[in-house]
Amino acid sequence: MIMSGELVTSTKKTRISIMKSKDEALQKFLAFGVLIMLCILFGVLTGGSFLKIDNLLTIALQVTPYAILGFGLTFVLITGGTDLSAGSVIGFGGIVCAKAVTMGVSIPVAIIIGILAGIIAGLINGLFVTKLSVTPFIATLGTQFAFRGLTQLVGQGKPVSIQALGDEKIISVFRFIGGGTVFGRVPFPTIIMIITAIVLGIVLSKTGFGRRLYAVGSNEETARLSGINVIKTKLTAYIICGATASMAGILLAARLASAQSNAGQGYELEGIAAAVIGGTSVMGGEGGILGTVIGAFVMGVLRNGLNLLKVDAFVQMVIIGTIIVIGVWYDTARRKRQSI
């Protein structure tokens, strides 16, 4: 009986996944096309200064925290969930890491502690969503406040300054992690972002866990009936999200050599926007890491390009907001067309 059940779902799954991969490739291609178009547009409008290598590398540095956060959110979104606490976890991971350093812990250990803080935060989110069956939106809205409160507690409402330690060696190591360059001009955090993207991309597309994630997001009941441990799968997604959020937080704190207790406020929406522009569905079951990278770059290019074009700050907000809505509208329309 189990055998036949597995057989049925596996054939169904392959059919779904073939359909999906074609569809997703289209969305990714479109997002990529939009990105290239934006680059050409800004390149022309700024008389080439946008396309200077230095500016492109600046954009890469600017989008890095949003992209890394977006990777984790992609996992959660694929399960059909969401994580509104991710921005708070950025602050939490960063401040825990910085606090550890100011207390004399060595840098690598402090970074591990910071990431562990994020993992625990993710675990808590995951437990609320799975074991206690609280709607992800509500659960993570609550933990958004709770983790921000914890962050403020650790910092006593103030930034935890690594700069104030006055130890040039520690400061320079952190500044390198957060904003240093390798191979001449490539920002180091961007290298970390690329490595994270490759690792998580492989996890998502080439492992059993990745396939289970899509199955849970497409249809939780079917996934459960076909023997997938839904709770474990979802829990892992939230833990990955917590880990990436705290990674982003550590990079932000490292760049300034100071962890702000309000770091990451509102970043969860940037991360979700990056994922959605890149073709991840907020309804679950669809999405990928490469798409999120492209989505993050679309947002970053827009911001940088509009700044270079000297567009008024308030007008920029209107433009960026409109583009996000258009992106999501297009995605929904495409899905509707397909289901017909």
Partner 1 sequence: MKKVLSILLVCILIASMLAGCGGRGKESETGTGADKGNTSTGSTASDNTGGGGNKTIKIALVTKMVDSPYWQTVKRAAEEKAKELGNVEITHLGPPTEADIDKQVQIIETCINDDYDGIILAACDKDALVEPVRKAKQAGIPVVMIDSGISEPVYDAFLATNNVQAGAECAKLMAELIGGEGQVAIINFAAGTQTAVDRETGFTEEIKKNYKNIEIVGVQYCNSDPTVAANQATDFISAYPDLKGIWGANDQSAIGVAQAVTEQGKSDSIMVVGFDNSDDIKSGLKSGVIKGTAVQMPTVMGSEGVRIVVDIINGKAPANKDVDTGVTMVTTENMNDPKIQAILNQ
Contact residues: partner 1, CB under 8 A: 49, 54-55, 58, 62, 65, 132-135, 138, 156-159, 161, 163-164, 166, 179, 252, 255-258, 260, 262-263, 265-266, 303-304, 307-310, 312-314
Using the minimum distance from each CB to partner 1, give the nearer residue, 33 or 149. 149
CA distance 151 to 249: 11
Using the minimum distance from each CB to partner 1, give the nearer residue, 14 or 135. 135
Provide, rounded to whole angstroms, the least separation between the CB of residue 132 and partner 1.
7
Provide, rounded to whole angstroms, the least separation between the CB of residue 323 and partner 1.
18
DSSP states of 91-146: HHHHHHHHHHHHTT--HHHHHHHHHHHHHHHHHHHHHHHHTS---HHHHHHHHHHH
Using the minimum distance from each CB to partner 1, give the nearer residue, 292 or 304. 304
Pull the structure tokens for residue 119. 């993992």
Provide, rounded to whole angstroms, the least separation between the CB of residue 179 and partner 1.
6
Using the minimum distance from each CB to partner 1, give the nearer residue, 94 or 122. 94
Alpha-helix residue ranges (DSSP H) falling in the chain: 2-45, 53-78, 86-102, 107-130, 136-155, 168-179, 188-206, 208-218, 220-225, 230-256, 267-277, 289-308, 313-339
> Nearest Cα to 67, choosing from 303, 290, 239, 281?
290
CA distance 149 to 261: 9
Provide, rounded to whole angstroms, the least separation between the CB of residue 133 and partner 1.
5
Residues in the chain, overall count: 340
Provide, rounded to whole angstroms, the least separation between the CB of residue 164 and partner 1.
4
CA distance 275 to 297: 11
Whether residue 250 contacts residue 111, with contact meaning beta carbons closer than 8 Å, is answered with yes
Using the minimum distance from each CB to partner 1, give the nearer residue, 204 or 272. 272
Using the minimum distance from each CB to partner 1, give the nearer residue, 141 or 203. 141
Provide, rounded to whole angstroms, the least separation between the CB of residue 49 and partner 1.
7
Provide, rounded to whole angstroms, the least separation between the CB of residue 68 and partner 1.
13
Using the minimum distance from each CB to partner 1, give the nearer residue, 144 or 260. 260
> Nearest Cα to 243, choosing from 78, 64, 81, 112?
112
CA distance 216 to 121: 22
